[in-house]
Amino acid sequence: MLADLERHANQGPAGRAIEETVVTVSASIAKRYIDGGYPVGFFAYGNERFALAPQRGPGHLLRIFDALAELRALGTTNLLDVIAALQSRTGRYTSIAIVTPARDSEWLDGVRHLMMRRSRVAVVCVDGETASRDTLPATVRQVAAMGVPAYTVRAGTEQTTGLTAISAPTAYESPVAQAARIPMG
């Protein structure tokens, strides 16, 4: 799992709620998979850099929660560069959930490269811009157009309702995509 905590990506009208939503979604996905017995890794560049190798068990979940509690959206590394750093840690058929509020599309090149390496990718876009509108961020539409399971959650809204799917998964639904459908909270 990759949590995007780059400073500029986490700025917007929703303010600190954007960062909090990235953390909440990341924690929910980690808990779902560790509770299911899957190994979960965690990768984030914020005020600190965290790279936790995939492991199972409640102790590892606590390490992920501790990392999420310490992180702040003060990172200076853009998402494309974070994905590039993550690529050396991924193998064929690795499932990767990217949780990001990034509104630019530059990082989608990194997603394409992960897909070429046969990684299964799902993206959760945290929307800090359109909380009061019924429109989707352009980035979410671009992710869905690539055939990547894409989900959106609006920053600062009640998180118990879960994520909104933007694209239907293909015949194979990755575990990451399944986790993204879980209610949060």
Give the tens place of pLDDT for each residue, 108-124. 999 999 999 899 999 99
Give the mean pLDDT of the chain.
82
* pLDDT tens-digit map of 38-68: 999 999 988 889 999 999 999 999 999 999 9
Find the mean pLDDT for residues 124-144. 75
State pTM to two decimals.
Answer: 0.82
**Of residues 150 and 128, more confidently modeled:** 150
Which residues contact residue 145 at a Cβ distance below 8 angstroms, ignoring those fewer than 6 apart? none
Strand order in the sheet with 120-127: 49-55, 40-45, 2-4, 95-100, 120-127, 150-154, 164-165
Domains by residue range for the chain, with CATH? 2-180 (3.40.50)
Find the mean pLDDT for residues 121-140. 76
Question: For residue 51, what is the enclosing H or E element?
Answer: strand 49-55
Write the CA distances from 14 to 2, 77, 79, 129, 163, integer angstroms.
21, 21, 20, 7, 17
Amino acid 18 reads I
Task: Give CA–CA dist 103/143, Å, rounded.
Answer: 11
Structure tokens at 143: 């992710």
